[in-house]
Amino acid sequence: MNNVKNTHIGRRQIRELHEAMIDIITLMNRPQRDEQMVREAGIALDRALFPLLVGIERRGPIGIVELADGTGRDYSTVSRQVTKLESLDLVERRQSATDKRVSEVVVTTKGKAMTDKIDAAREELARSIFRNWDQHDVNELIRLMRRFADAVNKAPEAAEDPGGAQ
């Protein structure tokens, strides 16, 4: 904690940042948000499968362990859910090109078509959120969020959450 006291960010600012992150994470994790996105996209997909499909499309090819870690879910649960996505022909498993012992998941053409619909729905939602924002502010938010995400990803594990656990 000594390093925090010696930097240009104060205790109050760290707390405010942490509270804002909790607000955003809470909002993003609400099942109603996923249900709304699925409904707005006009697709039929179980709410529990939605973040996995999007994660696979964005991060794939991706291993099940990495996917489970990224979604905060148990490996066996994610493996079963990926099997369900496979049965819907939205994703497929394949052997990793770099490590033949590892199975990776990639989105199929049908899965990509579905995530494209989700993206269109997300764009509409974002436009409504940012409709009164100045373009410069939107650009700065994106730039700073990317910078923050990159810094958090590079931070030592003990410092990944500047405010501690929720």
Question: Token pair for residue 37?
Answer: 């996105």
d(CA 4, CA 155): 13
Residue with tokens 């649960």: 77
pLDDT, position 162: 52
DSSP-assigned beta bridge partners for residue 92: 106
Burial pattern 70-93, b for ≥16 Cβ within 10 A else e, equals eeebeeeebbebbeebeebebbbb
pLDDT tens for the 166 residues of the chain, in order: 445 455 688 899 999 999 999 999 888 888 888 888 888 999 999 888 988 999 999 999 999 999 999 888 999 999 999 999 999 999 999 988 888 888 899 999 999 999 999 999 999 999 999 999 999 999 999 999 999 999 998 987 644 455 554 4
pLDDT, position 1: 47
Residue with tokens 């994610």: 78
What is 2-132's CATH number?
1.10.10.10
Burial of residue 18 (CB within 10 Å: 0-12, 13-18, 19+) is middle
pLDDT, position 130: 96
Is residue 56 within 8 Å of residue 105, measured between CB atoms? yes
Radius of gyration over every alpha carbon of the chain, rounded to an integer in angstroms: 18
DSSP-assigned beta bridge partners for residue 99: none
State the maximum Cα–Cα separation within the chain, in Å, rounded to a whole number: 54
d(CA 63, CA 91): 12
d(CA 97, CA 112): 21
Boundaries of every domain in the chain: 2-132
pLDDT, position 157: 67
pLDDT, position 114: 95
Helix (H, G, I), strand (E, B) or coil at 73: coil
pLDDT, position 99: 82
Question: Token pair for residue 75?
Answer: 């490996």
Is residue 114 within 8 Å of residue 45, measured between CB atoms? yes
Predicted TM-score of the model (pTM): 0.78
